[in-house]
Structure 1
Amino acid sequence: MPQPVGLLDRSLTRPARVALLAYDDVQILDVTGPLEVFGRTSRWLREHRGASSDCYTLELLSTQAPVIRSSSGLRLHADRTLGSPGGRIDTLLIAGGIGVQRTAQDAQVLAWVRARALQVRRLGSVCTGAFVLAEAGLLDGRRAVTHWSACDELARRFPQVKVERDPIFIRDGSLYTSAGVTAGMDLALALVEEDCGREVALAVARELVLFLRRPGGQSQFSVQLSTRGESRHDPDWNRVVRWCRGARLRGPLGSVHHGRQTGRGGPGGLHRVP
């Protein structure tokens, strides 16, 4: 029987095996990003909480040959292929990449994923890895997200899937999907938070110099990507823009407050900013 979501308590008294499924022409950041989050969590707990063993064991799975050629040309060596015996998987993630459509048409891969879906505690995808889950029928009637450029295709090809275009990641029961590339690290941090608590997840985010865990509902298109608020020539103005993006403004700001942010100070300071 698969364990219900949340069964592992925050102490994680036993290692949880995290397996990531990859294939030729995989997006390498879809693989290395999430795995680094889990690996760094184990390291942080050893160094700062005195853990005597890793809370996660990591495994890279290949659909075919042991050596995986990523879309960037770099090669990864898998721990095992799908046909090889292995230990029980707690969390299974499927990476995305330009090779995903070929993988999603592989009947053996789909059968393997369907079988593991009945056994793992959590099943998820990074980026366009959602197409494998959808082709296997595992997203039917579920909310899901993928890379913004592939959302329309996912919705068109799989109308039974409730595709949402904006979120960074989505949890629907024990099934998780995430947006493109680095959003896989956001998803991994969310899974760490489920297992180990918010404090640990934030500490790991700081170690990796990541945003302190973006909420899953945040739009794939951040303010920084969708606007051109900063100036190439005015660092003081850029400080104000960055401060405004991070602040929760509840009312109008006076020029004196603005002056404190820019260092220009005084009434009328706002009018002197280009």
Structure 2
Amino acid sequence: MKASQNRRLVILMYPHVREMDVASVNDIFATANTFLPENRRYHISYLSTVAASELDGMYGMGLRTGPLYSTFRGEIDTLIIPGGIGNELTEPPGKLLKWMRKQSGTARRVGSICTGAWLLAQAGLLDGKRATTHWKWAHLLARDFPKVTVDPDPIWVKDGNIYTSAGATSGIDLSLALLEEDHGRAVALEVARQLVVFLCRPGNQAQFSVALQEQKT
């Protein structure tokens, strides 16, 4: 029997988290699990910042979550922080930021989608690093965290073991890139094919779509 290479992927959930950010990550890795060998699959966990079995998403969808983050004792391979309403305006609990800093030192990689970058920045995890977020909020991230080199153009950025991505559907692109790191391009392309993704966009792809702009004219 081959030794298990299963990886624990954790999505941090909180009130008014953006539903698409959660779903995009979940669907990429859950789809990969349908054809990866059993000993190489992902264990996907949902940890909550509040003691609740269900949270209201950003647009009103009820999202079932898992245990409180502070009670989790497992080993995390990949930690993903989705975006959500108000991240750029609120100060998260110090206990949560301390937990995130601890996980960044033990997890193989930590990533964010959209305004999830605020949580990483507030924890100090983006200090001295290049990062991105949704183009609409990039100037605010740069203003609030001058130690971070904010690049508003790419759809995702890797700096060390920290990954940040732009808004909404860029969570798909980031997840496919992480999957490719783990299992190769063929696996990532097969997941993209099964999910009818139009194109696997590289990290340096611009957030503004030329094709979309042309459709407006």
**Equivalent residue in structure 1 for 2:186, among 193, 199, 203:** 199
Q: Are residues 1:60 and 2:60 paired?
A: no
Shift in alpha-carbon separation, 1:98–1:18, aligned structure 2, 3 A: same
Q: Are residues 1:132 and 2:119 paired?
A: yes
**Equivalent residue in structure 2 for 1:31, among 7, 18, 22:** 22
Amino-acid identity (%): 46
Larger mean Cα displacement after TM superposition, 57-66 or 128-137: 57-66
C-alpha separation between the residues in 1 aligned to 2:188 and 2:143? Answer: 36
Q: Are residues 1:150 and 2:150 paired?
A: no
TM score, norm. by length of structure 2: 0.93
For 1:141, the equivalent position in structure 2 comes to 128
TM score, norm. by length of structure 1: 0.75
C-alpha separation between the residues in 2 aligned to 1:199 and 1:57? Answer: 21
C-alpha separation between the residues in 2 aligned to 1:104 and 1:23? Answer: 13
Using the TM superposition, give the Cα deviation of residue 173 of structure 1 relative to its aligned residue in structure 2, in angstroms. 1.1
Larger mean Cα displacement after TM superposition, 80-89 or 216-225: 80-89
Unpaired runs of 5+ residues, structure 2, are none
Kindly provide the amino acid, as one letter, of the partner of residue 228 in structure 1: Q
Larger mean Cα displacement after TM superposition, 84-93 or 169-178: 84-93
Judge conservation of contact 2:77–2:109 (CA < 8 Å) in 1: yes
C-alpha separation between the residues in 1 aligned to 2:68 and 2:89? Answer: 17
1:171-214 residue CA offsets vs partner (Å, 9 max, x unmatched): 11111000001101100000000000000000000001113310
1:13-28 aligned within 5 A: 13-28=4-19
Using the TM superposition, give the Cα deviation of residue 228 of structure 1 relative to its aligned residue in structure 2, in angstroms. 3.3
Q: How many pairs does the alignment contain?
A: 215
Using the TM superposition, give the Cα deviation of residue 104 of structure 1 relative to its aligned residue in structure 2, in angstroms. 4.1
C-alpha separation between the residues in 1 aligned to 2:46 and 2:21? Answer: 12
Unpaired runs of 5+ residues, structure 1, are 1-10, 46-50, 231-274
1:193-232 aligned within 5 A: 193-228=180-215
Judge conservation of contact 1:42–1:56 (CA < 8 Å) in 2: yes
Q: Secondary structure at the match of 1:125?
A: strand
For 1:189, the equivalent position in structure 2 comes to 176
Judge conservation of contact 2:109–2:161 (CA < 8 Å) in 1: yes
Higher CA-based Rg: 1
Judge conservation of contact 2:70–2:99 (CA < 8 Å) in 1: no
For 2:35, the equivalent position in structure 1 comes to 44
Shift in alpha-carbon separation, 1:41–1:183, aligned structure 2, 3 A: same
**Equivalent residue in structure 2 for 1:180, among 167, 174, 184:** 167
For 1:263, the equivalent position in structure 2 comes to none
C-alpha separation between the residues in 1 aligned to 2:186 and 2:76? Answer: 25
Judge conservation of contact 2:80–2:112 (CA < 8 Å) in 1: yes
1:24-52 residue CA offsets vs partner (Å, 9 max, x unmatched): 1111011111111011011132xxxxx23
C-alpha separation between the residues in 2 aligned to 1:193 and 1:122? Answer: 14
1:225-240 aligned within 5 A: 225-228=212-215
C-alpha separation between the residues in 1 aligned to 2:120 and 2:216? Answer: 39
C-alpha separation between the residues in 1 aligned to 2:3 and 2:105? Answer: 22
For 2:92, the equivalent position in structure 1 comes to 105
For 1:270, the equivalent position in structure 2 comes to none
C-alpha separation between the residues in 2 aligned to 1:122 and 1:80? Answer: 21
RMSD: 1.8
Judge conservation of contact 1:146–1:179 (CA < 8 Å) in 2: yes
